[in-house]
């Protein structure tokens, strides 16, 4: 009985560590000598946060993870912005 439990534990721990082995992933190291090709944080920031618009409103959203988010409606003619809380997905 002890041997069966030991074998089960070995296989269980082996499965948890399987994603970390180099057999499954091809790890490559890249050295960049030309700094003009480097990517900085500004390359990943979306400048246009509008995800929907029609003839009257721009609609954008924010997300704060587990604290939820908000949705913003901006009237194109008046420039007034309305907001309400929303769930993030």
Residue 59 lies in a domain: yes
| Residue 56 DSSP class | S
Residue 63 lies in a domain: yes
pLDDT for position 2: 74
pLDDT lower than 70: segments of the chain: 11, 13-25, 37, 46-48
Residue 55 lies in a domain: yes
This prediction has a pTM of: 0.46
pLDDT for position 21: 55
pLDDT for position 17: 58
Residue 21 lies in a domain: no
Among the listed residues 53, 46, 44, the one whose alpha carbon sits nearest the alpha carbon of residue 74: 53
Residue 33 lies in a domain: no
Q: How far apart are CA 62 and CA 34, in angstroms?
A: 36
Residue 11 lies in a domain: no
Contacts of 84 (CB under 8 A, 6+ apart): 70, 71
Domain housing 59: 49-89
> How many domains does the chain fold into?
1
Residue 66 lies in a domain: yes
Mean pLDDT of the chain: 79
Longest dimension (CA), the chain: 77
């Amino acid at each position: 009985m002890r041997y069966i439990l030991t074998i089960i534990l070995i296989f269980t721990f082996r499965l948890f560590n399987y994603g970390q082995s180099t057999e499954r992933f091809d790890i490559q190291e890249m050295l960049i000598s030309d700094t003009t090709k480097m990517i900085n944080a500004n390359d990943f920031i979306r400048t246009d946060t509008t995800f929907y618009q029609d003839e009257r409103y721009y609609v954008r959203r924010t997300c704060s993870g587990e604290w939820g988010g908000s949705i913003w409606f901006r009237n194109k003619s008046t420039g007034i912005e309305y907001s309400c809380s929303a769930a993030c997905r």
